[in-house]
Chains A and B, each alone.
Chain A
Amino acid sequence: MSLPDRPRPDLDRDSTPWWEAVRRHELLLQRCDGCGTLRFPPRAVCGRCRSREAGWVPALGTGRVASWTVSHQVFMRAFADEVPYAVLHVRLDDGDGVFMYGNLAGTNPAEIEPDMPVEAVFADVDHELALVQWRPR
């Protein structure tokens, strides 16, 4: 793994708390105070009820594989030593319509199956940044 060479996330004012939580190895979601909808990625406004009030709640940290890809082409030089590698699109168990991406951990891409149960694990890039990964459970 060449984690430090990877593109770093371009944080914005809505996403910074989420990334800071990941650095602490916590997976958070926003929950709208107006209608209770769970929200990801972070936004200042609820798209359902337009409330600007929201809090952060811990995600269950589990989900199922909705889709995935295995990259063979070296699209970014930082991944030259990692191909072929998998990126998962995970439907979180917390509720409908909440998805996150992340790399596969703990097994190889040939083992991925539709709807495979996975759980979030954290990979430290350095003392300022960690990334979410997903491993079978």
Chain B
Amino acid sequence: MSFRDQAAIAGVGYTPFSRNSGVSTLTLAIDAITNALDDAGLTVDDVDALATHRVGDSTPPWVVAPALGIPEITWYLDQFGGGSVSHAVIGQAAMAVASGAARTVVCYRAINARSEFRMGGTGRDPAPIFDAQYQAPYGHLAPPQQFAIFTRAHMIKYGTTHEQLGQVAVGQRANAVKNPRALKRDPITLDDYLASRWIAEPLRLLDCCLETDGACAIVITSAGRARDLPVRPVLISGAVWGGGDSFFSGQGGDFTVSEAARIAPRLYAMAGAGPEDIDVAELYDCFTYSVIVQLEDYGFCPKGEGGPYAASGATRLDGALPVNTHGGFLSEGYVHGINHVAEAVSQLRGTAGDRQVAGAEVALSTAQPGYVLAGTSALILKADR
């Protein structure tokens, strides 16, 4: 099986990130899609497919399409799910293009995650997650609480420290300082991190991503067609998703291994690349811990050594494996996965400005690594030469 390099990313678009967009998720979606099409040198008339993911918190393709005046939709995807499916949406769009089901797909994610639908659970009913009944009555449902349990398990088994978690936050903030789009651009120190208040022990405020209003969109078309457009294409070389264990399946009791470990071999095989080939990695950072576990499970360091690896400086902009070059969800903003893809595209185009990784040719971009809902998804993207 392979649709390796058959589809390409031809454009990316953003809305501003904020704590209160003042507009609907429909308007956010339209703005991000329009900006992405401008970036690609395409118009609404060129679009024949839309794809998104949501958890009851956004506007679906079949509302966006007529609102935007898309003449006819030939394929769409309205994927239920959170961050773990974010990259599966892109992968499915690439499959749709490779199969001929669609010519030009725009993938988008539009959320008012601060002003309307806070995932922290304050004031909102519990999400319709099947096994929530075994957690919510104990006051255990919000993402920071879930990840606190996983983080603690990793600390117990491998000795991962607060300081190592803190180095993830500090390093990513240093990248965000160089990113005009980032919500948080003031540098922080390890002391700042250690002084930040507890949210759900062992996670502090600065372990947590930013609840953000905003949208991001990605234009996908065939590699051949993308080469006729004004900007240099970024090829979708690897796109996989899947998994198996859920956080409460009764089979996935070892929280120190994520679903990334399961899909990584398929991802690298599809792309014809390995961890040693990755020039830049945008790793889903809903919390600092998810970066650490993915450094291990995508094969950048031995199992259990993600904390020391992150603390070594290897993941800084000038390190061996620059990670979350835009500041990530911790400091740029959190558009539920898709702004990682957009940043990877910027890096591979060589347009990332002060935070550009010199000579970046191959990027890994990943989804939430499969905690909470079973499964994860990831992409390997390559600059077209």
Contacts and interface: CB of A to CB of B under 8 A. Distances in A.
Contact of A87 (B120, B121, B123, B138): B138
A98 B248 CA distance: 9
Interface residues of B, number: 39
Contacts of A137: none
Interface in B84-133: 120-123, 126, 130-133
Contact of A66 (B134, B139, B253): B253
Interface in A16-69: 19, 39-41, 47, 66-69
Contacts of A97: 250-251, 253
A70 B200 CA distance: 5
Contacts of A126: none
Interface residues of A, number: 45
Nearest to A78: B139
Contact of B153 (A67, A85, A98): A67
B156 A67 contact: yes
Nearest to A10: B133
A69 B123 CA distance: 21
Nearest to A38: B250
Contact of A75 (B122, B153, B198, B249): B122
A40 B250 contact: yes
Contacts of A99: 248, 250, 253
B11 to A, nearest CB: 38
Contact of A100 (B134, B137, B145, B156): B134
A99 B121 CA distance: 24
B271 to A, nearest CB: 31
Nearest to B142: A75
Nearest to A86: B201
A114 B255 CA distance: 14
B225 interface: no
Given A75-B142, A97-B250, A99-B253, A69 B202 contact: yes
B286 to A, nearest CB: 15
B122 A74 contact: yes
B149 A9 contact: no
A77 interface: yes
B138 A103 contact: yes
Contacts of A79: 139
Nearest to B143: A75
Contacts of B139: 6, 71, 75-76, 78-79, 82, 85, 87, 103
Interface in B331-357: none
Interface string B142-165: 101100111011001000000000
B250 A9 contact: no
B132 A101 contact: no
B126 A87 contact: no
B199 A73 contact: yes
B145 A75 contact: yes
B156 A114 contact: yes
Given A70-B198, A75-B122, A76-B121, A87 B149 contact: yes
A18 B122 CA distance: 29
Nearest to A70: B201
Interface string A80-103: 001011010101000011111111
Contact of A7 (B136, B153, B201): B136
Contact of A101 (B130, B140, B203): B140
B154 to A, nearest CB: 9
B84 to A, nearest CB: 20
B266 interface: no
Contact of A73 (B123, B144, B153, B248): B144
Most buried by A among B130, B134, B198: B134
Nearest to B126: A7
Contacts of B131: 41
Contacts of B133: 9-12, 15, 19
B141 interface: yes
A99 B149 CA distance: 13
B186 to A, nearest CB: 22
Contact of B137 (A7, A39, A69, A75): A7
Interface of B: 120-123, 126, 130-142, 144-145, 148-150, 152-153, 156, 197-203, 248-251, 253, 255
28 contacts: A6-B136, A8-B137, A9-B133, A10-B126, A10-B132, A11-B133, A12-B130, A67-B153, A68-B152, A69-B152, A70-B198, A70-B201, A71-B148, A72-B199, A73-B144, A73-B198, A75-B144, A76-B122, A77-B122, A84-B201, A85-B139, A87-B135, A87-B139, A87-B145, A96-B253, A97-B251, A99-B250, A131-B137
